Amino acid sequence: MQKYGGAAIRMSDVKYLIGNEAVCDSPLEPYADMVCHFAAELSDTFMKETSAKVYPDIMAFAFWCRKGNIQTLKRQFISNEKRLGRGLAFHIAPSNVPVNFAFTYLFSLLAGNATIVRVPSRSFPQVEILCRGLKQVLENYPEIKKRTAFVQYPANNTITEKFCAKADVRVIWGGDETVQEIRKCPVKPRCIDVVFADRYSLCLLDGAAVLNASDAEICKLAERFYNDTYLMDQNACSSPQLICWRNETREAKERFWHSVAAYAKAHYPLQAASAMDKYTQMCCDSIDLENLGAIRRVENLLYCVELKKLPPDITGLRGKCGYFYEYALDGLTELIDVLTEKVQTITYYGADAGEIQDFIITNHVKGVDRIVPVGKALDIGVIWDGYDLVRMMSRIVDRNK
């Protein structure tokens, strides 16, 4: 049985990694002091944890929730509004991004909510390390502990329905099918959904900047591009699939891709199945893709498919494990029609972020919520997918003077 207030419901298939069925749903103020202290202690814990240092994504989480960053976010959030969390937030974490469950949990806490997170059932060492650290630090924060539960259970609509029925907020990660399935579950009339559907991302590179960069800068660019793409096998919605060039030259492309391939060779553990999948995709593209140009291939580590023209729907251009598409732009205006609401992130090198932002706004483009330098594609924060998550997951307590 699961208990909220006075009622309880037991569900034997639910495994509680942290917490139990009795979750206090009393809301807090956004950026409550104890939550900010909790986040800072989490950061310190993982920064010192030897086993965590092996995983860049855990280190990114620890760096994000450090005291200085949380205090900066708090200062930026403060306004004339008086707010409280909405109550109980139920989160469905994505199955392919191991640390996302920890981020979405903290976003919810910072908004003032009690939080239940469904953690991916797939085994990840990062999940074990994060849960161990969270459980340890929660012992020092009983008010947060009683507002926290991390659960695992097999795909089961009945269990999901019972969690959804008690939620004041649902945060749904995992793509279009997951969103549609979870939305079938009945909720309270005032429950709000924050959903993260399937998205698509691309990278904008300037050929002149690539040619003018020093060897050290190109090596760093290759490392950052690798972190955006290979680290998650391009499964993250913010990992670029399409590389668009401005001031494109053959020399610039060769210099960039040679550096990416060299870095991948030194760092990427290529699986046999991934190599076969990429080769199969290359064969299919050779048959099916119109306006196909040259195909660059480096030892199964890197495939780059050149396009002579962009298709009307670029979101069909998807690769994994180091499989990319590239196109030489005459100008940004070529992108207007293809930057649909499905497009989330543009990473860039050698371009001006303000110029890209102005282009998006001036041309009333429906897509693109993030414009970040190469290397920052996976940097998640309280602003994500165009949502201000803390504001969405909290409510205004208004009064007339």
Q: What is the pLDDT of residues 133-188, one digit of tens each?
A: 999 999 999 999 999 999 999 887 789 999 999 999 999 998 888 889 899 999 99
Most trustworthy range by pLDDT among 220-224, 232-236, 378-382: 220-224
Higher-pLDDT residue of 203 and 294 is 203
At 197-215, the pLDDT tens digits run 899 999 999 999 999 999 9
Alpha-carbon torsion (316, 321, 325, 331), positive or negative? positive
User: pTM for this one?
Assistant: 0.88
Confidence of residue 4 (pLDDT cuts 50, 70, 90): very low
At 227-270, the pLDDT tens digits run 999 988 998 899 999 999 999 999 999 999 999 999 999 999 98
Confidence of residue 11 (pLDDT cuts 50, 70, 90): low
Q: How far apart are CA 95 and CA 307, in angstroms?
A: 32
**Contact indicator for 194, 389 with CB cutoff of 8 Å:** yes
Select from 332, 333, 337, 341 the least CA-distant residue to 312: 337
Q: Specify the pLDDT at position 6.
A: 36
Q: Specify the pLDDT at position 220.
A: 97
According to DSSP, the β-strands at 148-152 and 114-118 are parallel
Domains of the chain: 15-198 (3.40.605.10), 200-373 (3.40.309.10)
At 23-45, the pLDDT tens digits run 999 999 999 999 999 999 999 99
Average pLDDT over residues 62-75: 96
Q: Specify the pLDDT at position 370.
A: 96
Residues 6 or more apart whose Cβ sits within 8 Å of residue 142: none
